[in-house]
Structure 1
């Protein structure tokens, strides 16, 4: 499936970020709910979660799809650490894990203060090795993306795992449902999506920005941007600090000052995205039942 000219430019700056002749392409489909895309440049492969199907999938640039892991413990968000290892959030085991180079799996966190986590959703690894993740309750609300259960935590936190000690620390506790998260290129700002409008229309669909200090201390939390279609889920930043986020109508691109520059319209609700492809200049988009790809003029802030 090829979708020509999927762009909606709302600011002249957006035109420099896209390739007008590059079409949006659906490169894989037939899934239940795609999430957690992560690009492995050394292997030229995209991994992503198909949450309700309890599996992780592998997709190559030529469109070949295969199962990477099944069961996946209802994996959701994925990322890589600075050693190239896969880090994954799981709804089923309510945990965050790391897949080692030999294929073994290490549990990084599954509880806080003696109580089980809610259902880790999305994850990012800081350059110092600290792992940050969100812990909403989506995976325990029903048996669709995990296992129905009562929450044991007293809040829906953003957590930090100290790379040196393995200690799990609650760093933010005032979200209704924290979702996607990512750092600015200099790691001085942590962006976190509020997706609580999924179950409460009175919750604003916003992305908040927190200042990051020593030892993982955060402050601030002002609204950085508001998504005007659906809610923000997963997102990524490019090298210049622009934020590309999922939304109900596609991918929205925000300037570092929070201005909405433009949209890439996608025919399915977008859950997440990452940069990848052979030259790192393709936006790889997980959207409901499918994965889409489009060439852009930017690349990932993670390098």
Structure 2
């Protein structure tokens, strides 16, 4: 019988092929306030992540360790890369989605809808056609901890799509607090986390699934339920499995929503991404720290890896 390390919990035999019994859960950075938004830059061999309340985007690399990538980040939360390799982030303070150009300048992609300020964009993905999809809960305006307390101008907490031409549309409008989102590898499905239980216990801690039909979404129901805490950031791997944050770690589901197993983490997990030089490392942001663990599958976002 193979003895598993304490950070691995197998619920389905298929999970054993996605992890490894000799893997280690390493702390690679610590001492932050609330870490979020990890994104791997393979062409620079580094990880960027947000320390939201400290208004910093941090950089980590094997060679250089931890440094500040950007101070005064405007309570930046979720991050991703577009197909040109540029950083795209969500700023609670400015209540916008912003892109970092190759020369380091910033371009605001979206900050208003129907002439009113957005709530506080939270997480973001870019599809292969260049459209930008993001969630807009109120976490950045309900207190001064990770934004600026303010009354919402939007009538709800929506999921938005910004077309390649810059047109902004609300594609889902019935979430309590939409949070993390990610595409399936074929981009036919968009998964969106419902994290409204953070402030309302009656809201189920679920991941919802939507069929992508051009620039629109069709609700196909609840994909999975998180049994400890709530879902936040998440990613898909190349096999179509979805890996979601939770209070006790990272939960892995197959494409039908069956829980395969968990990577247990001693702090509440906010987000995760795949990366590393070989693409087989999962980076996990969890409360005050960032963790790294080997996984035997790559993420479904090959453009994050850069040159191999």
* TM-score, normalised by the number of residues in structure 1: 0.97
Q: Distance in 2 between matches of 1:168 and 1:217?
A: 12
SS at match of 1:142: coil
Contact 1:27–1:63 (Cα < 8 Å) also in 2 = no
Contact 2:96–2:111 (Cα < 8 Å) also in 1 = yes
SS at match of 2:140: helix
Structure 1 residue 167: Cα displacement: 0.9
Deviations 1:56-101 (A, max 9, x none): 0000024610001010010000000000000000000000000000
Q: Distance in 1 between matches of 2:9 and 2:39?
A: 26
SS at match of 1:218: strand
Structure 1 residue 19: Cα displacement: 1.1
Q: Following superposition of structure 1 onto structure 2, how do residues 148-297 of structure 1 map, counting pairs within 5 Å?
A: 148-163=149-164, 165-214=165-214, 216-297=215-296
Q: Distance in 2 between matches of 1:154 and 1:52?
A: 26
Q: Distance in 2 between matches of 1:62 and 1:230?
A: 35
5+ long unaligned stretches in structure 1 = none
Q: Distance in 2 between matches of 1:28 and 1:97?
A: 25
What is the match of residue 143 of structure 1?
A: 144
Structure 1 residue 302: Cα displacement: 1.2
Q: Distance in 1 between matches of 2:292 and 2:199?
A: 29
Structure 1 residue 217: Cα displacement: 1.1
Structure 1 residue 5: Cα displacement: 3.5
Structure 1 residue 128: Cα displacement: 0.4
Deviations 1:193-240 (A, max 9, x none): 0000000111000000000112x1111240000000000000000001
Aligned length: 299
5+ long unaligned stretches in structure 2 = 303-308
* TM-score, normalised by the number of residues in structure 2: 0.96
Contact 2:5–2:21 (Cα < 8 Å) also in 1 = no
Contact 1:92–1:147 (Cα < 8 Å) also in 2 = yes
SS at match of 1:120: coil
SS at match of 1:26: strand
